[in-house]
């Protein structure tokens, strides 16, 4: 059995939860350390939030700042128990916030389309179909339906592909080759009379009005003649 290599995008999606957790932990450590060093409350929070957003940029900067500051950590902002409670509350809140944002982003249209592109590049047509369908559950879009229809057609699911391309056409997808794709599917499904309507729509469009006529236009012209005979 052939094992498909993991793409960079898939690897990043795999390690992203660990990255988010690490960001929250580093941010919490910075908050506690800043409080113990005697920094003002708002400065401690600013350092922590900045670390949460850009951990691998801000954290080294904070460590450099603390080294240059040369000020030992103290307990000037309360006892160890209250500081531990603050750290626990902050860590819980930051982890919850990060994963809530991640959940929302993971179900966004752009994320699904990006994953579909990754799947196509990796030769995983079923994965691309799955991501296009997920994107359409979030937002109905004519262009996405066209992309899904093309993948379904290439997979041999002609009836499902036809349904998606017809919806894309009705939805206003501007791709001039769409009628030709629909016509080819209708031909494959043994519906020549319906196919010729789409062939004519394509053949008499601007796509075929300019010379030289491409191969698709020639196919459309020949099918119009054959069905008309």
Provide the pLDDT for residue 53: 92
Residue ranges of the chain with per-residue pLDDT less than 70 = 1-13, 71-78, 106, 210-213, 229
Q: What is the pLDDT of residues 148-193, one digit of tens each?
A: 999 999 999 999 999 999 999 999 999 999 999 999 999 999 999 9
Q: Do residues 100 and 131 make contact, with C-beta atoms less than 8 angstroms apart?
A: no
- Would you state the torsion angle of the CA atoms of residues 123, 166, 190, 212, taken in this order, to the nearest 10 degrees? -80
Provide the pLDDT for residue 194: 94
- How many Å apart are CA 14 and CA 6, to the nearest integer? 10
- How many Å apart are CA 15 and CA 117, to the nearest integer? 20
Provide the pLDDT for residue 136: 94
Collapse the DSSP code of 77 into the 3-class scheme (helix H, G, I; strand E, B; otherwise coil) and give the result.
Answer: coil
Provide the pLDDT for residue 197: 94
Provide the pLDDT for residue 74: 56
Provide the pLDDT for residue 182: 97
Provide the pLDDT for residue 99: 84
Report the Cα 148 to chain-centroid distance in Å: 15
Collapse the DSSP code of 3 into the 3-class scheme (helix H, G, I; strand E, B; otherwise coil) and give the result.
Answer: coil
**What's the pTM value of the predicted model, to 2 decimals?**
0.62
Provide the pLDDT for residue 83: 84
């Amino acid at each position: 059995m052939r094992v498909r290599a993991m793409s960079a995008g898939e690897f990043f999606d795999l390690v992203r939860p660990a990255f988010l957790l690490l960001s929250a932990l580093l941010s919490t450590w910075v908050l506690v350390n800043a409080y113990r060093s005697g920094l003002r409350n708002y400065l401690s929070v600013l350092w922590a939030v900045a670390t949460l957003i850009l951990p691998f940029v801000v954290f080294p900067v904070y460590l450099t700042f603390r080294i240059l500051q040369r000020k030992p950590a103290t307990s000037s902002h309360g006892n160890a128990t209250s500081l531990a409670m603050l750290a626990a509350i902050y860590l819980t809140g930051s982890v919850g916030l990060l994963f809530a944002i991640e959940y929302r982003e993971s179900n966004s249209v752009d994320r699904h389309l990006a994953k579909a592109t990754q799947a196509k590049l990796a030769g995983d047509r079923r994965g691309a179909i799955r991501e296009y369908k997920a994107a359409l559950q979030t937002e109905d879009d004519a262009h996405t339906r066209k992309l899904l229809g093309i993948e379904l057609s290439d997979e041999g699911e002609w009836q499902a592909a036809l349904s998606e391309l017809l919806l894309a056409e009705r939805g206003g997808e501007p791709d001039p080759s769409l009628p030709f794709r629909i016509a080819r599917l209708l031909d494959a499904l043994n519906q020549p009379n319906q196919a010729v309507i789409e062939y004519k729509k394509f053949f008499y469009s601007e796509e075929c009005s300019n010379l030289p006529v491409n191969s698709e236009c020639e196919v459309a012209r020949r099918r119009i003649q054959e069905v008309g005979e």
